[in-house]
Structure 1
């Protein structure tokens, strides 16, 4: 099978490309800059430079492929308005599915986000049927991913559309870095300030396996949460301390302080200034947004590992590449 994988420079796409090449598939990677690609050349891999917001680039990219794994997205938390997210995450995704239908591709795997579904507690974690709720209803990124997901499903009578919704991914090949920034923040630091909430952490390689399983077994119009281990931020950063030779002090940042900072960020956004500090983002740091990957385990056969190995491998990769 020949696969188009978008966002090929990213943490998830790089690991997904590596996985499919190891399985013997052909891969065409769509990316904006070939120079930033982290994997070595491979006889079954072709890199195509382009942008999903450009119809001509998308048309060229899908040609000759059997299926699409759409990972590319605008994830920056600092943009002040919705238009930028819409252009890439919604309109860009629609460009891609229209091209896939035109070229008669068989399947379209859309990598959405766990934040398009409602979170739960440690005892009753969120599932695919849990309705979205605050503070994620105010997240521009989450809003765009949910809108894209709903938009793509309107084409499910013309091509099989399967959505996978990973939580917070960690692992090797995080070149930007993206989510791995949390490891750089906590490893070998003398003081770590952590928020009162928590989240679900998942090994990026388990997500790649989930994508592969969704391509093989995923049902049309279905959504699958790819969720690993639920941890408070205190528990996560304690893992960082255990891996460091540095004597570290953990200090919890009070919720009221985060909210004050968030409202100040809202004011800056009204001035059209870029900042990742916003009330929605600060409120998200204060809740324990926990999820369950049970449906993916039962229907796709995916097994989710504890996050420890992903942390170790991410640290090793950052060290090897001079980021730690």
Structure 2
């Protein structure tokens, strides 16, 4: 068994990854900014530090064979652009360089499918070899920062000396997202705060399966390559219909215009109207803009090379809903519903 350093171990994906590694008999060292008794209670070695502090990373990495770099932040707010750049891009450079100095031999870097798999074409299904859609990604600070972080990570790959693999999961769902970084849209659906159906499509994967995919990438992944992880591709209407079956909450029915500019202006107008009427509607122009596109993914490479497998996507949705309700995250639903 091996000793691995994990950054972002307290996050949604990182926590499931730690569980998977421990279950397979590996020793885990977690780089954390604070003491984490819940991790220590599992037998994880917790080291205080930060991905922007090379010394703390290097100290934590001593004796580790591999690094799982999962540290990051999910935000759609334009004002977070600089923080996202520093954490994702500079943090990746600092962390990987420090680990290389400490003798780490292989890195699995947690990226996102959004660095390659987003399109205006509903028939397009992204693969690892697609060209990066820079015209789209450059508009969204989160995906822009993740793209540059992924590039920085793969640039550090040295065949036979320092192997770097990129793992690119789609939207992460499932239980355990205590920070609401990935399942926020499901919460908003359950509270009926999404009054309209965007015209685009998404792809999602269970965070537990994505964690397994990362573990497999450490064992079998080829350095210098990326691996897309996905369970299913759905239009947003089909996604909401599946959520309705999983939760019993009525799905929104009103479509938004396919033209992104009109959708953004509609979101702004709806936000102003709802504010005046005292309604709580979670609509922001950036999210609605992103929802006009298609984020479809082909996970064949991960399935073939890594042996990546997924559970029933409907089970993932049911577990997500159950977890949100059990943790008391969901407030009573408002009055958005289809007309009778």
Task: Report the more deviating stretch, 183-192 or 163-172.
Answer: 183-192
Q: Please name the residue that 1:201 is paired with.
A: 204
C-alpha displacement of 1:191: 6.8
C-alpha displacement of 1:137: 3.4
Q: Please name the residue that 2:73 is paired with.
A: 74
Q: Partner of 1:17: helix, strand, or coil? A: helix
1:309 aligned to which of 312, 315, 320: 315
Q: Does 1:176 align with 2:159?
A: no
CA distance in 2, matches of 1:282, 1:214: 33
Q: Partner of 1:230: helix, strand, or coil? A: strand
When normalised by structure 2's length, the TM-score is 0.83
Q: Please name the residue that 1:271 is paired with.
A: none
Q: 1:249 to 1:289 in 2, by over 3 A?
A: closer
User: Gaps (5+ residues) in structure 1?
Assistant: 265-275
Q: Does 1:283 align with 2:289?
A: yes
Q: Please name the residue that 1:92 is paired with.
A: 91
1:135 touches 1:283 (CA, 8 Å); kept in 2?
Answer: no
Cα deviation, 1:275-308, whole Å, max 9, x if unaligned, reads x9455x5432101221110111111111233421
Count, aligned residues: 311
2:165 touches 2:221 (CA, 8 Å); kept in 1?
Answer: yes
CA distance in 2, matches of 1:247, 1:33: 41
CA distance in 2, matches of 1:249, 1:165: 30
Q: RMSD of aligned C-alpha atoms?
A: 2.5
C-alpha displacement of 1:257: 4.2
Q: 1:166 to 1:52 in 2, by over 3 A?
A: same
1:3 touches 1:28 (CA, 8 Å); kept in 2?
Answer: yes
Cα deviation, 1:56-108, whole Å, max 9, x if unaligned, reads 32222212221100011132111336432221111111111111111111211
CA distance in 2, matches of 1:307, 1:15: 17
User: Gaps (5+ residues) in structure 2?
Assistant: 270-282, 331-340
CA distance in 1, matches of 2:243, 2:73: 28
2:265 touches 2:285 (CA, 8 Å); kept in 1?
Answer: no
CA distance in 1, matches of 2:39, 2:118: 34
Task: Report the more deviating stretch, 25-34 or 99-108.
Answer: 25-34
Task: Report the more deviating stretch, 153-162 or 13-22.
Answer: 153-162
Q: Partner of 2:138: helix, strand, or coil? A: helix
C-alpha displacement of 1:49: 3.3
Q: Please name the residue that 2:141 is paired with.
A: 140
Q: Partner of 1:286: helix, strand, or coil? A: coil
When normalised by structure 1's length, the TM-score is 0.87
CA distance in 2, matches of 1:278, 1:247: 24
Q: Please name the residue that 1:239 is paired with.
A: 242
Q: Please name the residue that 2:170 is paired with.
A: 167
2:209 touches 2:311 (CA, 8 Å); kept in 1?
Answer: yes
CA distance in 1, matches of 2:22, 2:42: 8
Cα deviation, 1:37-64, whole Å, max 9, x if unaligned, reads 7668123x12233321122322222122
2:32 touches 2:46 (CA, 8 Å); kept in 1?
Answer: yes
2:30 touches 2:47 (CA, 8 Å); kept in 1?
Answer: yes
Q: Please name the residue that 2:130 is paired with.
A: 130
1:122 touches 1:230 (CA, 8 Å); kept in 2?
Answer: no
CA distance in 2, matches of 1:40, 1:170: 25
Q: Does 1:250 align with 2:253?
A: yes
C-alpha displacement of 1:319: 2.4
Task: Report the more deviating stretch, 157-166 or 123-132.
Answer: 123-132
Q: Please name the residue that 2:21 is paired with.
A: 20
Q: Please name the residue that 1:9 is paired with.
A: 10
Q: Please name the residue that 1:273 is paired with.
A: none
CA distance in 2, matches of 1:261, 1:56: 49
